[in-house]
A = this chain, B = another copy of it.
């Protein structure tokens, strides 16, 4: 193969591997094919009709161009890149950095390529204070990328208003303007966009209709990646290559359709938890990104007909080999209620060799001379073997290696898998209605004025929320 690739391997979810009680029989698989096939055509149609604009991000030529232009502008002026964003404006960004930059990137001053990199996706006082102390005298060499699709995310705005004040105080208006890049959707009522325009800040656009959790291949993910030296062209190339596969009309050749169908089957057969377990530290945060994609897209109270269904597989993550010593006891002996997806890497760029055992410890000499990758991948094999002995279904996504191209493939594979799963579950995977209530309740508690809904002001509502959540000492122990 000329290019490194990823492949989905699904033998070990089949009845032949784990028996007919827990595995998928050939007949069931064909039934899944029959059910899913029309959805392939449907998704391709929806995409053509412009209803799933995330599908076209890898073909957008304007975004990488704009991103690269901004990168050139900051050349030599950015030693620290700080992203302020949360959820879909953070998880994909973090995933790209963990996958494609060395583990010691921020600490290894001499060998660092690209700026130090930070993401703040919370409003934790201690965490942010610790950062503010450190950044205090480095503001002149720092760029802040403030990301919010809707332009009014409370956490992101809060952090931004702290940084804005700091920059204005220490560097003045011009200094402030030179060090902030806003990434947001464009629209009249967009707070961040209005600030960017009024205050003459650089800004990047998130295309219309691309939801946060589907936005990593837009400016949301690409700007910080490019700034840190990640090859965004290769990332998008990998996504385009995967697009060809996940558009295939033949179910049996379409990895996203098969992946979604398998997940759908197991959810309906008592396995309501889906565990993703990479055997690679680099791929660790792609599981965090996946968790949002899966949970927010598929966790829905109502189906497309408005019927109450309360559907949604619970995604969990583990890391191999680490969590063999933490979660595998439960995975093997606990309820058979999980589908496992391993991520496995065939070849690593670097691969330390295990040293000789001391003479007094011949019992560990069998490890000597092995490379770590061989130990790690044997552990994956051993864990999968053990799970199969207990009839637990296992998928594997095989990576030839971890690089921009395969990470692009993976992201696109799982985005489209999510669309297929949404179609199979007959829910809308692109909405997140339940997030709104908590957001609005926060606004109320923070003293927002006006009406929350007809007949109920924010202030009245805040009182109700406080009553409901007030600590009753009777239940305190």
Contact = CB atoms under 8 A, between A and B. Distances in A.
Given A125-B351, A258-B477, A272 B337 contact: yes
Interface string A379-395: 10111111011100000
A77 interface: no
Contacts of A42: none
B107 A11 contact: no
Contacts of A104: 130-131, 133-134
A328 B433 CA distance: 10
A300 to B, nearest CB: 5
B348 A126 contact: yes
Interface in A316-364: 316, 319-322, 324-338, 348-358, 360-361, 363-364
A268 interface: no
A314 B299 contact: no
A86 interface: yes
Given A330-B312, A330-B314, A476-B9, A121 B363 contact: no
Contacts of A12: 469
Interface stretch (A30-38, A66-74, A155-163, A229-237): A155-163
Interface in A287-304: 288, 291-292, 295-296, 298-302
A158 B9 contact: no
Given A11-B472, A301-B333, A469-B385, A322 B126 contact: no
Given A366-B447, A382-B442, A389-B437, 4 more contacts: A125-B348, A299-B332, A316-B316, A381-B445
A311 B324 contact: no
Interface in A440-468: 441-449, 465-466, 468
Nearest to A98: B127
A195 B441 contact: no
A41 interface: no
A152 B164 CA distance: 53
A393 to B, nearest CB: 12
A434 B367 contact: no
A306 to B, nearest CB: 13
A194 B125 contact: no
A447 B382 CA distance: 13
A23 B375 CA distance: 47
Contacts of A433: 329, 333
Nearest to A161: B355
11 contacts: A103-B127, A162-B354, A162-B372, A198-B358, A254-B477, A299-B333, A310-B335, A311-B335, A314-B330, A332-B437, A366-B449
Contact of A87 (B131, B153, B302, B326): B326
Nearest to A471: B9
* 5 A-B pairs with least C-beta separation: A87-B325, A299-B330, A312-B334, A165-B355, A382-B441
Contacts of A166: 355
B164 A388 contact: no
| Main SS at interface, chain A | helix
A164 B355 contact: yes
A291 B316 CA distance: 11
A374 B445 CA distance: 10
A194 B10 CA distance: 44
Contacts of A465: 381-382, 385
Given A126-B282, A134-B107, A158-B375, A334 B314 contact: yes
A438 interface: yes
A113 interface: no
Nearest to A334: B312
B316 A442 contact: no
Interface in A214-263: 245, 252-255, 258
Contacts of A59: none
Contact of A476 (B7, B106, B379): B7
A91 interface: yes
Interface string A42-85: 00000000000000000000000000000000000000000000
A165 B477 CA distance: 52
A161 B356 contact: yes
